[in-house]
Amino acid sequence: MRFENDIVFVIDRNLISDINKCIEKAHPNEACGFIFGDIQEFNNNGDFKYKYSSEIFQCIESSISSPASFLIDNDKKILELSNTTLKKKGLKLLAIFHSHPAGANPSSIDKKCMKYYHNCGIKKFTHLVWIIVDSRNKDSNGFIYLDNKLTKIKIEVSE
């Protein structure tokens, strides 16, 4: 898997406890939620860098209860929540978060979902970041589809 150095996803330190509560609430099943915020583009003589800055986390109940997968089976609900947050707070849907009972890398089902959302034709979903957190040790990884390839990105926690 390739790694993209020009994209950094910054999780606000205050959101970490909300994410951990979401994981605890769903235990032993996978937790899921949405992260909203803003994207900044930096241009240094044609060398572009992107910073995804999180501001709000919303824990979402999975459509299925399972320690092996999560499901959000209502694209309309995601769009409504995204549009409402954009209208009320001026924040974009940046990421879909979910936990794994062990490990922070995408499963084959995750990869299919990531590809689906990237290619579904809904512009808001094209460059979503997928944050996966290991429920046991809270390690996390971020992924995004670029040029139809799954790409790992850097995750930072703000000070």
Distance CA 138, CA 16 (A): 10
Query: What pLDDT was estimated at residue 30?
Result: 86
| Closest CA relative to residue 93, chosen from 52, 134, 153 | 52
Residue with tokens 């459509």: 63
Query: What pLDDT was estimated at residue 130?
Result: 94
Query: What pLDDT was estimated at residue 117?
Result: 83
pTM, two decimals, is 0.87
Query: What pLDDT was estimated at residue 63?
Result: 58
CATH code where residue 39 lies: 3.40.140.10
Query: What pLDDT was estimated at residue 40?
Result: 93
- List 57's β-bridge partners, or say none: 35
Query: What pLDDT was estimated at residue 2?
Result: 75
Domain total for the chain? Answer: 1
Domain that holds residue 9: 2-157
Q: What is the mean pLDDT of each run of 10 residues along the chain (159 residues)?
A: 86 93 90 92 87 92 56 68 86 92 90 86 86 94 90 91
Query: What pLDDT was estimated at residue 62?
Result: 62
